[in-house]
Amino acid sequence: MSEIVNHYINGRIVESSSGRQGNVFNPATGEIVRQVAFANTAEVDAAVQAARGAFASWAATPPLSRARVMFRLKSLLEDNMDELAKVVTEEHGKTHVDAKGSITRGIEVIEFACGMPQLLKGEVTEDVGAGIDAYCIRQPLGVCVGITPFNFPAMVPLWMAPIAIAAGNTFILKPSEKDPSFSLRLAELFKEAGVPDGVFNVLQGDKDAVNGLLEHPDVAAVSFVGATPTAEYIYRTGCAHNKRVQALGGAKNHMVILPDADMDQASDAIMGAAYGSAGERCMAISVAVAVGDGVADQLIERLAPRVRALKVGPGTDPEVEMGPLVSKDHYDKVMGYIDAGVREGATLAVDGRDLSLQGYENGYFMGGSIFDNVKTDMSIYREEIFGPVLSVVRAPDYKAATKMVNEHEFGNGTAIFTRDGDAARHFANSVQIGMVGINVPIPVPMAFHSFGGWKRSLFGDHHMHGMEGVRFYTKMKAVTSRWPTGIRSGADFSIPTLG
């Protein structure tokens, strides 16, 4: 029997009694490497009760003490970087260097969370009335849940849990069942860093575990990253059960290339942004909007030979630039989109469907693809492919290009490449997108700023990490106080004005 990835509840690994489990594959070989438990109702409740039981004591722990735990966690993650990246590569397929990069971006959020004593400082106003002071403080919510996607099994949990925990909450992580093993190593490192039992828990599972957490009366808040239909479901269901919810959904990120752009710089940017991590990034550039005569031709002339020459293989190979897709189902989905693009009339300038690697014939590998002459009514333009497929759209002018970006249902990220400062400033100020890059292809904010899209890329009012993350994981309390002075003026039955 293969190894089973179980739950981590109240400071220890807990074997599931549900009798339900799923297979975990190595996407480079197509082989089952282990299995993952699927939680039942009792196990969901056990995780929530463990987190609930630990909350009061952890919330009362001084913020400075909680921050010192985060300092230790940061060091532990850095010390174990190679081992952790290997776990990510084995189950997700991304290259080892890309896996390390994703963990590093997660560590940056921990570094931000180390400043929680400063971030939780409130406001004080003395003498709002005669002898009356007022102050506002931020306090933790309680049990918080993170439901995270397959494409970043390390980074996205680290966007959520450190801020929630440093702010005084307890946390339950429900990772993707496709690559769950990092979650258990993270739990062990949290404990080694000094987090008390019950503060950080891991619940493995599928939709039953998700629904159990969304409906549980003792869960206060839910964070989610994933596809838009699921994000909308998480948001509506969580809100219906009186929870605070931030649900980040899908994307179709456009990169607008103006005629004055440095075409070599733009093509370099597209290569990394479209094909890094096999396109399995919510901030991947999947649409290149070439503005004006000849720009698309110049781009494709530069891109096509480089895409054909992409070094594709197992993520453990240090020479590889792009690993496999995460699963057979996802591989088939991406292949279906390429087939659909051909049927719909787009020009397949580079076809990545026929890739075969000796010794890895059962892996989920495909080469990079480029479509030219893509129209806005095609499925490959409208829908999120989440694979190594770039669509090139030809726009006659800047106005038409920005209109495309603004009219798309997704609003996660976008970029513009130009030497024109006026055009860049206008684009950044007017485009209806949550994250904008100017000559930067993947504008993921640093940890001390916040990550999140607009339109159907985000459900809820708060973006992730940065100060938006602190606000999401805390609630405001206003206190008005007066101490006896021996001076009495009698009862007052009108609404207080404090003037």
Q: Is 114 labeled as catalytic in the residue annotation?
A: no
Closest CA to 391 of 424, 329, 345: 345
Distance between the two ends of the chain, CA-based, in angstroms?
Answer: 74
Largest interatomic CA distance in the chain = 90
- Please name the residues in contact with 445: beta carbons below 8 A apart, sequence gap of 6 or more: 435, 451, 466
Sheet containing 31-37: give its strands across: 4-5, 31-37, 21-26
CB 152 within 8 A of CB 91: no
β-pairing, 21-26 with 31-37? antiparallel
Closest CA to 476 of 133, 123, 147, 186: 123
Q: Cα separation of 389 and 387, whole Å?
A: 6
Collect contacts of 481-490 with beta carbons under 8 A, ≥24 apart. Answer: 481/132, 481/133, 481/134, 481/135, 482/129, 482/131, 482/132, 482/133, 483/131, 485/131
CB 440 within 8 A of CB 416: no
Q: Which residues are catalytic?
A: 282
